[in-house]
């Protein structure tokens, strides 16, 4: 019942289909061995038909690369590693340390998450593993090691707690507290298509409960779990809580790099938790950033993550992604998502964005300004930290003037030379609706 399969709520699993240009451009350009590995890994994500179509497309551009990829895939097939998720599940060990593995509950990128029972305590746990078909890839193992390292050094009420780590039959695993709850993406899915001005705080609470009811809940639901008189106020407070959790990570030198609705859990008892530090990077380490960046969902990735120099990434990349998450929660539209991935890729750096207040007229000007400042293509014009961002969100909710003045020329002068990337331009209407799989 808990299996969500290929179309799980995780953005990474969704953007796959025959018509997508799902293979990241960056995977073809970098160092050949690593790009071959990444390319093969992303092809494994596809079902047979789209996989064949994608290989054919690669063959048109680069027959040599296509033949190397094909022989890799054939080798993996021989090893039984290119199987679909349900069959793969059967091959996994039943026990990891003191944990007994139960249903698979999610997973999109290179990892998957299972509900598990800790036989020592009889409590529930979330068991995260590198997907078995990705164990083959050193890059996947390295990412998972970083996730373990990042998550274990953080301790904050807004960050999911690690219970134990280990390796079973060659499969590294990470056990976290079982949070239950619903992801913000699941919440969004329930209200998508509704006019945002018709939504209330109760709708948010109801959406959390409906999704949470699909899996075990470790905590008792609270009537007063969600502060906020309106949808706008409530989602803004949720985002401010995530901003505080991120500030803790940043203070400890960890940049999340994959903040998006499917990586934020909200429980019916009112907890807000950040998960999935799979792309997290201790500051100063920049290897794999560029090749790994595509694994985060593109609409939430800062322009400098998509195009820029990996070593230049800092906490403001997370400010951007959280700004994109806020934009989506306020307007019910994914910023910049209006067409195929390739179009999104081009649009992110240009900052061509629909004004939140056009999509949701009840939004205050200060809240709109804070949201757009976080989404500024130039990191120097964004709030300097998630702490600043949270403070502005709080000011905006209290009807006060926020500090962010992203697009004023004085703000730009005081923070350095003018950026090459233009400020976000506001458009009156989006040209295309959100498309599944785009």
Ligand X SMILES: Nc1ncnc2c1ncn2[C@@H]1O[C@H](COP(=O)(O)OP(=O)(O)O)[C@@H](O)[C@H]1O
Which residue number is nearest to ligand X in terms of Cβ?
106
Q: Buried b vs exposed e over 116-152: b needs ≥16 C-beta within 10 Å?
A: bbbeeeeebbbbbbbbbbbbbbebbbebbebbbebbe
Residues 403-422 that bind Mg ion (CB under 5 A): none
Instruction: Using the minimum distance from each CB to ligand X, give the nearer residue, 171 or 343.
Output: 171
- Work out whether 147 is an interface residue with Mg ion (CB under 5 A): no
- Work out whether 207 is an interface residue with ligand X (CB under 6 A): no
- Work out whether 278 is an interface residue with ligand X (CB under 6 A): yes
Site size toward ligand X (CB under 6 A) is 25
- 352-354 and 425-427: which strand pairing? parallel
- Work out whether 263 is an interface residue with Mg ion (CB under 5 A): yes
Residue 361 CB neighbour total at 10 angstroms: 10
| Residue 179 contact partner, candidates ligand X, Mg ion, none, CB within 5 to 8 A by sort of partner | ligand X
| Residue 178 contact partner, candidates ligand X, Mg ion, none, CB within 5 to 8 A by sort of partner | ligand X
| Span interacting with ligand X, options 45-53, 170-178, 375-383, 405-413, rule CB under 6 A | 170-178
Site size toward Mg ion (CB under 5 A) is 3
Instruction: Using the minimum distance from each CB to ligand X, give the nearer residue, 151 or 331.
Output: 151
Instruction: Using the minimum distance from each CB to ligand X, give the nearer residue, 177 or 394.
Output: 177
Q: Which value, in Å, is the radius of gyration of the alpha carbons in the chain?
A: 21
Q: In what order do the strands lie in the sheet with 124-130?
A: 95-96, 99-106, 111-118, 124-130, 171-177, 162-168
| Residue 107 contact partner, candidates ligand X, Mg ion, none, CB within 5 to 8 A by sort of partner | ligand X
Verify whether residue 258 is a known catalytic residue: yes
Among 178, 294, 320, 389, binds ligand X (CB under 6 A): 178
Interacting residues of 36 by C-beta distance below 8 A, sequence separation 6+: 65, 68, 69, 72
| Span interacting with Mg ion, options 175-183, 220-228, 272-280, 388-396, rule CB under 5 A | 272-280
Among 112, 186, 276, 376, binds Mg ion (CB under 5 A): 276
Q: Which of 10, 258, 352, 376 is an active site residue?
A: 258
One-character DSSP codes across 369-401: HHHHHHT-SSGGGS-SSHHHHHHHHHHHHTTPP
- Work out whether 275 is an interface residue with ligand X (CB under 6 A): yes
- Work out whether 151 is an interface residue with ligand X (CB under 6 A): no
- Work out whether 111 is an interface residue with ligand X (CB under 6 A): yes
Residues 3-42 that bind Mg ion (CB under 5 A): 10
Q: Which two tokens stand for residue 402?
A: 């926020």
**Residue 384 burial (C-beta neighbours within 10 Å; 0-12, 13-18, 19+):** middle
Three-point CA angle 14, 376, 108, nearest 5°: 15
Residue in 232, 309, 225, 306 with CA at minimum distance from that of residue 266 = 225
CB 67 within 8 A of CB 74: no
Q: How far apart are CA 225 and CA 222, in angstroms?
A: 5
Residue 282 CB neighbour total at 10 angstroms: 13
- Work out whether 133 is an interface residue with ligand X (CB under 6 A): no
CA distances from 378 to 289, 365, 372 (A): 19, 21, 11
Closest separation between CB of residue 259 and Mg ion, Å?
A: 10
Among 24, 97, 107, 338, binds ligand X (CB under 6 A): 107
CB 151 within 8 A of CB 134: no
| Span interacting with ligand X, options 34-42, 62-70, 228-236, 272-280, rule CB under 6 A | 272-280
Closest separation between CB of residue 332 and ligand X, Å?
A: 19
User: At residue 331, what are phi and psi to the nearest 5 degrees?
Assistant: -110, -15
- Work out whether 10 is an interface residue with ligand X (CB under 6 A): yes
CB 50 within 8 A of CB 15: no
Binding residues (CB under 6 A) for ligand X: these are 9-10, 12, 105-109, 111-113, 126, 128, 160, 176-180, 183, 262-263, 275-276, 278
- Residues annotated as catalytic are 258
Binding residues (CB under 5 A) for Mg ion: these are 10, 263, 276
């Amino acid at each position: 019942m808990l299996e969500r399969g290929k179309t799980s709520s995780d953005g990474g699993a969704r953007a796959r289909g025959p018509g997508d240009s799902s293979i990241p451009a960056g995977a073809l350009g970098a160092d050949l061995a690593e790009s071959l590995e990444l390319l093969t890994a992303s092809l494994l994500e596809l079902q047979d038909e789209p996989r064949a179509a994608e290989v054919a497309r690669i063959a048109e551009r680069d027959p040599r690369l296509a033949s190397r990829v094909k022989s890799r895939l054939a080798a993996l097939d021989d090893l039984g590693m290119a199987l679909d998720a349900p069959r793969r599940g059967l091959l996994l060990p039943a026990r990891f340390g003191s944990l007994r593995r139960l249903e698979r509950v999610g997973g999109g990128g290179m990892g998957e998450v299972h509900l598990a029972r800790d036989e020592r305590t009889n409590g529930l746990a979330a068991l995260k593993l590198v997907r078995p078909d990705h164990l083959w890839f050193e890059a996947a193992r390295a990412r998972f090691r970083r996730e373990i390292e990042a998550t274990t050094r953080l301790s904050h009420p807004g960050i999911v707690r690690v219970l134990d780590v280990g390796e079973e039959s060659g499969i590294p695993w990470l056990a976290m507290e079982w949070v239950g709850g619903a992801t913000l993406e699941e919440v969004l899915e329930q209200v998508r298509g509704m006019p945002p001005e018709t939504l209330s705080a109760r709708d948010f609470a109801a959406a959390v409960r409906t999704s949470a009811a699909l899996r075990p809940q470790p905590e008792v639901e609270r009537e007063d779990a969600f502060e906020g008189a309106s949808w706008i106020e409530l989602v803004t407070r949720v985002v401010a809580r995530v901003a505080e959790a991120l500030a803790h990570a940043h203070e400890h030198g960890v940049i999340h790099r994959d903040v998006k609705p499917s990586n934020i859990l909200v429980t019916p008892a009112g907890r807000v938790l950040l998960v999935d530090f799979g792309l997290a990077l201790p500051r100063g380490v920049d290897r794999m950033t560029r090749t790994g960046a595509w694994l985060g969902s593109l609409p939430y990735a800062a322009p400098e993550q998509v195009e820029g120099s990996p070593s230049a990434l800092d906490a403001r990349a997370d400010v951007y992604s959280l700004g994109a998450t806020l934009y989506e929660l306020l307007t019910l539209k994914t910023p910049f998502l209006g067409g195929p991935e390739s179009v999104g890729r081009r649009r992110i750096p240009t900052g061509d964005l629909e004004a939140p207040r056009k999509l949701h007229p009840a939004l205050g000007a200060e809240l709109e300004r804070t949201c757009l400042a976080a989404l500024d293509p130039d990191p120097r014009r964004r709030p300097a930290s998630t702490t600043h961002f949270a403070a502005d969100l709080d000011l905006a909710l209290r009807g006060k003037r926020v500090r962010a003045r992203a697009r004023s020329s004085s703000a730009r002068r005081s923070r350095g030379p003018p950026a090459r990337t233009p400020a976000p331009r506001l458009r009156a209407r989006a040209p295309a609706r959100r498309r599944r799989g785009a």
